[in-house]
């Protein structure tokens, strides 16, 4: 059985607005090279094990504790929802997590969505902490349309909190987000459109799915935490021209949140980059739904001399 180390990570005093601590987890022999895996704002430290077997085990070899020491992180956030960290601040939290686990330098960080933004900030400001980076569906700056969508989601949650209906607001915001994570083509294949009743609030087939996803989201997210981390995405800014380590950049043609043009622009601005734009039905959620393809590309990248 793989060695497991689950640690409390004390936050630097300068980040006290994000609380006192968070948690990180490493699975695998400490003698193995370390790989950090980060996902979207609802991802957690259970990458390679834990409830459901780990949320990103589909990556294959690069998330296999038999080959690497796989590190996951619970992102730091202001649980009250009043403050959002920058991606550089979250990268400092990751550095504190690596220190707590006794990892001086990770072999690679494989990171998608918000995690990819944090990883880009890590590579920019703390390049000594990683050798290579795989950045998936993560831009140098947020797309204006994506910022607008997230702002509407945050307004829904804030209004719901004022009405003491935070859980319902969070569920609606999650449903709105799912419409941007996935594609119209996928919804067209899975569901029938329209409603069959006169009641304006009748539940449609896709609406039933989004309600279920919104209710399930409350198992991993609170309204305040959502406000903090959603806004953290929109505080992200990194100058890719100042990232000197090798970077594998991966995007999807169908991604609405981070359009392929943004992914291509990121790769073009990086001094040492490889680029893959994948055709995919699942849009921004490609990194979860087609993790095997991501894992194969990452494994080949790590094997480069």
User: What is residue 1's predicted lDDT score, i.e. its pLDDT?
Assistant: 52
> Does residue 284 have an active-site annotation?
yes
Q: Whose CA is closest to 179, among 157, 204, 202, 206? A: 206
Q: Residue 215 pLDDT > 80, yes or no?
A: yes
Measured in whole angstroms, how far is the alpha carbon of residue 198 from the centre of its chain? 40
Sheet holding 4-10, edge to edge: 4-10, 21-27, 69-73, 34-38, 106-112, 130-136, 247-252, 273-278
Q: Are 81 and 226 in contact (CB under 8 A)?
A: yes
* Rounded Cα–Cα distance for residues 275 and 268 (Å): 9
- The three-state secondary structure class of 131 is strand
CB 73 within 8 A of CB 34: no
Q: What gap in Å lies between CA 238 and CA 106, rounded to an integer? A: 20
Indicate which residue of 42, 113, 137, 230 is catalytic.
113
CB proximity list for 12: less than 8 A, separation 6 or greater: 92, 96
Single out the residue of 97, 85, 82 nearest to residue 14, CA to CA. 85
Distance between CA 95 and CA 244 in Å, rounded? Answer: 18
Element (H, E) at 225: helix 223-234
pLDDT at 132 over 90: yes
For the chain, the domains span: 4-143+236-302, 144-233
> Which phi and psi angles does 192 have, rounded to 5°?
-95, 140
* Type and span of the H or E element at 156: helix 144-162
Enter the pTM of the model. Answer: 0.97
Looking at domain 144-233, its CATH class is mainly alpha
pLDDT at 53: 83
| Catalytic residue chosen out of the listed positions 42, 78, 230, 284 | 284
Among 43-57, 111-125, 129-143, 268-282, the range scoring the smallest mean pLDDT is 43-57
The one catalytic residue among 49, 64, 255, 285: 255
2-36: per-residue pLDDT in tens?
799 999 999 999 999 999 999 999 999 999 999 99
- Supply the DSSP string of 88-100, one letter for each residue: HHHHHHHHHHHHH
Q: Would you say residue 276 has pLDDT above 90?
A: yes
In angstroms, the CA 268 to CA 262 distance is 10
Question: How many other CB atoms are found less than 10 A from the CB of residue 224?
Answer: 18
Q: Tell me how far apart the 2 most distant CA atoms of the chain are, in Å.
A: 64
Read off the pLDDT band of 148 (50, 70, 90): very high
Q: What does the pLDDT read at residue 153?
A: 98
The CATH architecture to which 4-143+236-302 belongs is 3-Layer(aba) Sandwich (3.40)
Q: What is the mean pLDDT of the chain?
A: 97
């Amino acid at each position: 059985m793989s060695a497991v180390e689950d640690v409390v990570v004390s936050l630097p005093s300068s980040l006290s607005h994000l609380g006192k601590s968070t948690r990180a987890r490493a699975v695998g022999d400490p003698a193995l090279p370390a790989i950090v895996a980060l996902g979207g704002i609802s991802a957690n430290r259970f990458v390679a094990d834990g409830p459901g077997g780990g949320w990103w085990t589909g990556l294959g070899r690069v998330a296999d504790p038999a080959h690497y020491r796989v590190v996951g992180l619970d992102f730091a956030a202001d649980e009250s929802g009043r403050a959002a960290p920058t991606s550089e601040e979250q990268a400092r939290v990751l550095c504190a997590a690596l220190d707590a686990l006794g990892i001086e330098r990770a072999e690679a960080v494989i990171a998608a969505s918000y995690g990819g933004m944090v990883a880009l900030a890590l590579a920019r400001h703390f390049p000594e902490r990683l050798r290579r980076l795989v950045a998936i569906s993560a831009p140098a700056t947020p797309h204006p349309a994506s910022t607008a969508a997230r702002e509407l989601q945050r307004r829904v949650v804030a209004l719901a909190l004022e009405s003491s209906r935070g859980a319902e607001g969070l569920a609606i915001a999650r449903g709105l987000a799912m419409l941007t994570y996935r594609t119209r083509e996928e919804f067209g294949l899975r569901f029938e459109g329209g409603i069959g009743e006169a009641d304006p609030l009748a539940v449609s087939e896709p609406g039933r799915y989004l309600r279920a996803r919104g209710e399930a989201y409350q198992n991993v997210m609170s309204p305040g935490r959502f406000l903090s981390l959603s806004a953290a995405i929109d505080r992200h800014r990194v100058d890719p021209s100042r990232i000197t380590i090798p970077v594998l950049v991966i995007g999807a043609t169908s991604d609405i949140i981070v359009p392929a043009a943004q992914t291509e622009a990121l790769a073009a601005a990086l001094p040492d980059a490889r680029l893959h734009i994948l055709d995919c039905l699942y849009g921004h959620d490609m990194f979860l739904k087609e993790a095997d393809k991501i894992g194969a590309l990452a494994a080949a990248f790590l094997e480069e001399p």
